[in-house]
Each structure stands twice: as structure tokens, then as C-alpha cells.
Chain A
Amino acid sequence: MVESTNQLKALVAPMELRRGPQAPYQRGLGGLTDHLTAMPEGKTPLWWWILFLPAAFCAAVVLPSMLTYLISTGVGVWGNNVPVAWGWDIINFVWWVGVAHAGTLISAMLFLTRQHWRAAIGRAAEAMTVFAVMCAGLYPAVHVGRVWFAWWLFPIPLTTGMWPQFRSPLMWDVFAVNTYLIVSSLFWYMGLIPDLALLRDRAKTRVRKFLYGLFALGWTGSARQWHHYEKAYLVLSGLATLLVFTVSSIVGMDFATSQLAGWHETIFPFYFVAGAVFCGFGMVLVLLIPLRKWCHLEDIITLRHIDRVCKMTLMMGCVMGYIYVMEYFIAWYSGSPYDAWVFGHRLFGHYYWFGGWIMIGVNALLPQLFWLKKVRQNLPLIFIIAVLINIGMWFERFTIIVGSLYQDFLPSSWHPFYPTWVDACTFLGTLGVFFTMYLLFVRFLPMIAVSEVKAITPQADPHHPLGGAKGGHP
């Protein structure tokens, strides 16, 4: 017996190799709850108003006026024209879908792979997904031109007797984006139910009690409810993980199935998924670095979380670098003069040569700074890199779309692309929608999944002394 205990002791990992706690446990479950509900229950802080008012102005005034102008006049108010028939609308669509992807990857894929640290940032990332997909979905809906016929995209019996053409990836987009919006909203809302019940139980006013209670659906936290809930959460994570790989693949196929040099590439579905996740990680960092400070969540979203997101950003940056190299290699190896032309002009072209340099410099080279631990712990620097990554990924889409379209096969149809002020204001409007929604979410809902974070504390483990276990080892 003594011998076996000694053997067991020998098996215990040395101190420096043991894992730290996944969540802070000095406070206990009650203290943790008070801390995490402070933002939705407290007074509105000043910084919130300073950010919210301009964002709400863009969302409530700028965007509706731009859309009214666009729909009443025509798509010509944008810079789109032949040969560049896809301009900022599709660039921004792809960019927003990309921003969304990292949220699903963090909340669903890291759940399936049992990365418990994701509990602290999963909710915030998933909210980012839902709001980004809303902004993304707006663009294809309004860029069709005659918006009042957009319902023809759905398979509804018409008097013309015609049906949608299901061979077209543009058709698949309609289904993919709507599916993504519905599934990520369901996933996000389901995760919220136990926390809505928490806010209901703590509510001081009747209005709050009624509203939180209504959306909590009558959650009591019984073992039977948790049993079905956990299963549903697992199934939804599996399905949302599928969407991480499919939605941007389908967006990539919109391009890849065309005949255009610079678009007609088999790597595109993977390319778009990688770019989407990469861009989304940038947005996660942009949102979380200020919010963890302003909402006093430094010990919930710790430097270790930021460090891990930085490492994943680094990995995706390397994947982007690989894809860029591969694109150039294939452009040369294919022997197609059109491909060689497009890719040569991405770096040394007539109008948009800067796009290629920004793309390679920001997306492939800049993240290499994350190899250094000092950079991964320097929050202002990470924030700047993350903002640049978002800008870099926007220019990547610009380079792919405009850079390939404006000089296609026939020199007689070449024409440069210039965006208009309507393009810029529409984009500003969608940014306003995103940040308005996000700020409302941070203010009125728990941006940290309280029940999930509690579940990974030692106090929640019935086999841990802090969880009440008798004679267990720490």
C-alpha cells in the first residue's frame, strides 16, 4: 500500500508542468456571479454612451438613408460598373462573413475539442458572429438591384412557373448565409438561457424580471433540464462547426466557379475559410482587449486567453502566407498568361498595386510578430496588430475582387474602379449596426457565459475539495 502511494506520488507532474486553474477561484461561485453580472445590472458607464451614440447614429440615420438612396435610385450610386460589377458590396459582404467565422470557431469548435478556456470568451465571440452575419446578409440582399424581386431567390411557386437555378453558387449563398444567421442565433440564444434565468432571479424591478423571465422560458436549472440542454448544446456545436467550413467555402465558390483569372482557383474554398477565421480572430482581439478592461474582466479574460487567441491568429497568418505563395506558384506553373498578368499586377500593376503589398505585408508577415512572447503580452500592440489585420483582410478582398475584374481578358473593356461616397457611407452604416448591437449586448446581457465559467471552476467539481469532496487531492 505504502509502495503504491509512493508510485502514485511519482506520477504527479512537477509544479511547473501542472495546469493552472481554468477560471479564477478565489472569489467562490457567489462572488464570481456578482462580478459577471455587474455590467448588465449596474449603471451605464460613460464610455458606453461615448461609443454608443455615434454607432447608433450610423445605424439609425446613415445606413437607412444610404439604403433608401440606393433602392430609390439604383445600384449606380455605388462605384460598381462594367467590368467591375462587384465592388464594395461584395468586398464588405465577404469581409463581414469572415469576421463572423472566428466566433463560431471559438464557441463551437473549441467546445467540441474540449478547450475549457473558451468558456470565458465564447459568448462574446458568438455575439460577434450573429451581428456580423446580419451585416453581411444585408449586402447581397441590396446589391441585386431590384430589391423588391429578391424573394425570387427563394423556391416559391410563381405565376411565371419558373424556379431558382440550383446549380448556381450564388443561389447556394442565399441558403448558406441565412442558415448561418439562424443557426448561430439559435446557438447563441440557447447558451444565454441559463444566464437569462440568472438575471431573472436577481432582477430588482418588475420590468427586468418579466423580460428576462420571458426569454429564460422558465429555466429552473433542474438536472433534467441540464441533461437535455447539454445534449442540444453539443449537437448545435457540431452543426455550427460544419458551418465554419461550409459558409465561406460557398462564398469562395461564388468566385472559383467563374472563368476569371485570379478567381478560377481550386484553393478558393479553403482560402476563404482560412482568411475568414484569420480576420475574425483579429476582430475578437479588437473587441475583447478594450472590453476586458472597461468591464473589469481582467481576471476572467486573462492574458492567457489573449495569448492563445494570438497564437491562433499566428497560425492562421502562416496559413494565409502559404496560400499566397501557392497562388503565385500556380499562376506561374499553370502557364496561363492571363493568370500571370493578374498576379503580376497585384504587386506591380497600374492602379491597385498597393493591395497586393498590404495583403502580403499585413496578413502574412505582420502576424509573425506573435512568435515573440513579449508581443503576445503587450495589449496596445496586439490591439494595433488586430486592427491592421482587419484592414489587411479588407484589402485582400479588394485585391481579389477589383484587382481581378478591372483588367480582364479584353483590353477594350478595361476600366478602373473608384468607390463613391455612398459606398463608404453604407460601409460606415453597417459598422454602426454591428457596434450598436454589440454595445447593447454588452450592456444588457452577460457577455461572459456565467454558467459555463462557473462550471469550470474547482468549486464546481464534485471531486475537488473546493467543490465539497471529502479527502480528495487538490
Chain B
Amino acid sequence: MNGTAYGLVAEFDSPAAVLRAAEKVRDAGYRRWDVFSPFPVHGLDKVMGFKNSLVGWFALVFGGATFIGCMLMIWYMNGYDYPILTGGKPMFSPPQALVPSYILLVLMSAVGAFVGMIVLNRFPRLYHPLFKHNRFALVSRDKFFLVIETSDPKFSETETRVLLESAGSTHIELAME
């Protein structure tokens, strides 16, 4: 094999097996590793110690800024720059501007959540070393993979392999960069 190694790819047959393996890998003190599965596995977030995703903040900031911006825009357009008197109502009042501002809040919050997901996952990233790995295509079908990267300070090809074998992996292989 040519090139540098990316990491050790261990295959598992069930979500419970990969969850148990993830616990072992975490307890062994590895840092640069990830689990790949065809659907989100319950309890994995906790094992891997993920904090609350920042996606919600993206939605809040996008939506909030749009709501305030839209209120100001309507005040500027209908109340200040070109005032239109309709039915003796005030030139600008918050209830009058609420509906379009609210609708745009929903729009931009949704865009924010989507953008947040894209940015936090660093999408679009059309290349990944694992795509070259033969068996990895099964990840979207029914297999579960635990990958420990070679860049992990604790990585050692023999010891890591022993750990993954003891965790019950059915197939372990080194993936190239």
C-alpha cells in the first residue's frame, strides 16, 4: 500500500456492538475517532461526549436579526421615507409590522438552521479518505464503523487493533489517506 495511513477502520454488525466498542475506545483515552452508522444510534452522543449542537444558535441569530431588521425596514419604508396614511392609523406601529417580520423570522431561522448544519459539518466535502475503503460503502446500508485516526496521539497500529478486536469488531482494516 502506498501513501500515509488515515486510520484503523473497525466494522460492527449491530448498534449495540458499536456502542459498547465506543465506550471501550473512550475509556482507553483516544481522542481522534468517530463512529459511522446508517442512522443516529441512541446513546452515542453521550458516550462520545458531544455538547449541545450550535445549530440552534445559528437559527436564533439569523431569525432574531431578521425580525429586528424587518421591523426597522417597515418603519423606514412605510413610516419614515414614504409615509402612507391609511385609515387614520399610526404611520408605524409594531402590530402592523408583526406579520411580515414574523414570517421572515421563520424563513431566516430555517435558513440559519440549514446553514448551521452545513457549516458545522464542513459541507460540501465531496472527498473523504474513507470513500476509498471498499467496505465503507456499507455504512449507509446495515454496517457500523468505528474509525480511530492515525493522528490520534495514542494511536499504535498493533495496540489499537488489539483493542478493537477485543471490542468485538468483525473486520478491521487500515484505511489510506
- Contact residues of A with B, CB < 8 Å? 28-30, 33, 155, 161-167, 169, 171-172, 175-176, 178-179, 182-183, 186-187, 190, 194, 197-198, 200-202, 213-214, 217-232, 235-236, 239-240, 242-243, 246, 250, 451-452, 454-455, 459-463, 467-470
Partner of B126, one of A33, A167, A217, A228: A217
Contact B110 A236 (CB under 8 A): yes
- B117 at interface (Cβ–Cβ under 8 A)? yes
Q: A178-B107, A197-B140, A463-B42 are in contact. List 14 more A-B contacts (CB 8 A).
A: A33-B38, A163-B77, A163-B78, A164-B77, A175-B104, A201-B138, A223-B37, A224-B50, A228-B116, A228-B120, A246-B103, A451-B39, A459-B15, A462-B41
Given A190-B114, A201-B137, A227-B45, A462–B38 Cβ distance below 8 Å?
no
Closest to A227 in B: B50
Given A183-B110, A197-B140, A220-B128, A228–B16 Cβ distance below 8 Å?
no
Against A, the Cβ 8 Å flags (1 = close, 0 = not) of B97-128 are: 10110111011011101101110110111111
Partner of B109, one of A222, A227, A239: A239
Given A176-B103, A183-B106, A243-B106, A213–B37 Cβ distance below 8 Å?
no
Partner of B78, one of A166, A197, A451, A463: A166
Q: Which residues of B contact A165 (CB under 8 A)?
A: 78, 84, 86
Q: How far is A30 from B36 in the complex, measured between Cα atoms in Å?
A: 16
Partner of A228, one of B53, B77, B110: B53
Q: Which residues of A contact B48 (CB under 8 A)?
A: 223
Minimum CB–CB distance from A155 to chain B (whole Å) comes to 6
Q: How far is A231 from B40 in the complex, measured between Cα atoms in Å?
A: 11
Q: How far is A178 from B48 in the complex, measured between Cα atoms in Å?
A: 40
Contact B137 A202 (CB under 8 A): yes
Contact A455 B124 (CB under 8 A): no
Q: Which residues of B contact A461 (CB under 8 A)?
A: 15, 42
Q: Which residues of A contact B113 (CB under 8 A)?
A: 231-232, 235-236, 239
Q: How far is A323 from B32 in the complex, measured between Cα atoms in Å?
A: 60
Closest to A246 in B: B103
Q: Which residues of A contact B61 (CB under 8 A)?
A: none
